[in-house]
């Protein structure tokens, strides 16, 4: 079962209008046919893929939790010793519930879910949400990971700035951690940015309103807010974190509200 809450928006995209599967996916996500659109969605080998039409040599983007890089990381990536696991406060006997307020391609959310967290992903871009829904569909059906994926990973389509604040007002269910990884304006020349990231970045752009995420995240999270930033970035909304966990190129800024208990 795909667990998706949909908000209708309208976004122009190119796709094959004679292919019912892709037509219905586009209709579901409010993606309207545009012959001159910069991006194309294709559905091949049971996978929805995004292609940048003026750079056909760049690999398309799709969400694949079953095989490829994220599956490899699940098996060999260092488990709860990883920096992201420490940042959200995963320790023996503690499986925090997490809202990932900037889901993107769901990689960080998947790492956390595979380590035992219940993760609700929030994504506002309709094309990214469509790719995530497709990745979840295949993962939910998979013999190896399907059972726990259906239990632990959900998708919500909408803006976190509104939905986190709404959830905080009306919440009966406790959210331990809000995780944020907004797109940061890249300082490297675009040719140096990894090819796949280039397609993704040109699709979603820089999240210039990211500072507005911190206050609703702090209102919702009962234990902590974790913000992933490039090492050279300033603090989100100018607010100093309680602690910082540094990795090679990034850091996790942790805003602690309460101790993490089982
Ligand atoms: C850098 S990507 C996140 C990558 C993700 N951590 C991963 O591991 O794949 C940022 C994503 O957050 C989304 N986003 C930014 N601001 C948002 C908001 N206020 N509400 C919902 N989604 C948001 C963007 O559309 C983009 O897809």
206, 207, 210, 249: residue to mutate for ligand 1 pocket, most atoms within 8 A of CB? 207
pLDDT of residue 188: 58
Asked if residue 64 has its Cβ within 6 Å of ligand 1, the reply is no
Determine the atom of ligand 1 nearest the C-alpha atom of 184: 1
Asked if residue 7 has its Cβ within 6 Å of ligand 1, the reply is no
Q: Is 35 helix (H, G, I), strand (E, B) or coil?
A: coil
- From the options 3.30.1490.270, 3.40.800.20, 3.40.50.150, 3.40.50.12170, give the CATH code of 64-189+206-256: 3.40.50.150
Rounded Cα distance between 141 and 239, Å, is 42
Element (H, E) at 134: helix 126-141
Is 150 assigned a ligand-binding role in the annotation?
A: no
Asked if residue 213 has its Cβ within 6 Å of ligand 1, the reply is yes
Contact in structure between 45 and 32 (CB atoms under 8 Å):
no
Asked if residue 176 has its Cβ within 6 Å of ligand 1, the reply is no
19 Cα–ligand 1 center, Å: 29
Stated pTM of the model: 0.93
69 Cα–ligand 1 center, Å: 19
Domain ranges of the chain: 64-189+206-256
18 Cα–ligand 1 center, Å: 31
pLDDT of residue 76: 79
pLDDT of residue 66: 96
pLDDT of residue 3: 43
Asked if residue 96 has its Cβ within 6 Å of ligand 1, the reply is no
Is 97 assigned a ligand-binding role in the annotation?
A: no
DSSP code at position 238: G
pLDDT per residue, tens digit, the chain (262 aa), is: 344 444 556 899 999 998 889 999 999 999 999 999 999 999 999 999 999 999 888 889 999 999 988 888 888 777 888 999 999 999 888 899 999 999 999 999 999 999 999 999 999 999 999 999 999 999 999 999 999 999 999 999 999 988 888 877 776 778 999 999 999 877 655 555 677 778 898 899 989 999 999 999 999 999 999 999 999 999 999 999 999 999 988 999 999 999 988 7
Q: Is the dihedral of CA 119, 124, 129, 133 positive or negative?
A: positive
């Amino acid at each position: 079962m795909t667990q998706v809450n949909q908000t209708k928006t309208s976004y122009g995209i190119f796709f094959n209008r004679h292919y019912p599967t892709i037509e219905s996916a586009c209709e579901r996500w409010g993606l309207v046919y545009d012959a001159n659109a910069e991006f194309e969605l294709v559905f091949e080998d049971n996978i929805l893929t995004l292609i940048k039409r003026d750079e056909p040599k760049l690999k398309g983007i799709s969400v694949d939790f079953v095989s490829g890089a994220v599956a490899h990381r699940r098996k060999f990536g260092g488990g709860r010793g990883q920096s992201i696991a420490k940042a959200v406060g995963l320790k023996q006997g503690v499986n925090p519930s997490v809202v990932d307020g900037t889901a993107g391609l769901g990689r960080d959310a998947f790492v956390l879910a595979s380590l035992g967290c219940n993760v609700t992903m929030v994504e506002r871009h309709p094309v990214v949400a469509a790719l995530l829904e497709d990745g979840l569909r295949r993962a939910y059906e998979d013999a190896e990971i399907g059972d726990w994926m259906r239990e632990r990973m959900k998708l919500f389509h909408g803006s976190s700035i509104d939905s986190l604040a709404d959830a905080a007002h009306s919440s009966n269910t406790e959210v331990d951690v809000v995780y944020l990884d907004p797109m940061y304006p890249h300082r490297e020349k675009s040719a140096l940015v990894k090819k796949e990231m280039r397609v993704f970045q040109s699709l979603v752009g820089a999240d210039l309103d990211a500072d507005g995420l911190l206050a609703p995240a702090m209102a919702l999270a009962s234990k902590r807010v974790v913000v992933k930033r490039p090492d050279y970035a300033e603090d989100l909304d100018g607010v100093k974190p309680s602690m910082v966990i540094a990795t090679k190129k990034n850091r996790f800024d942790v805003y602690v509200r309460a101790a993490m208990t089982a």
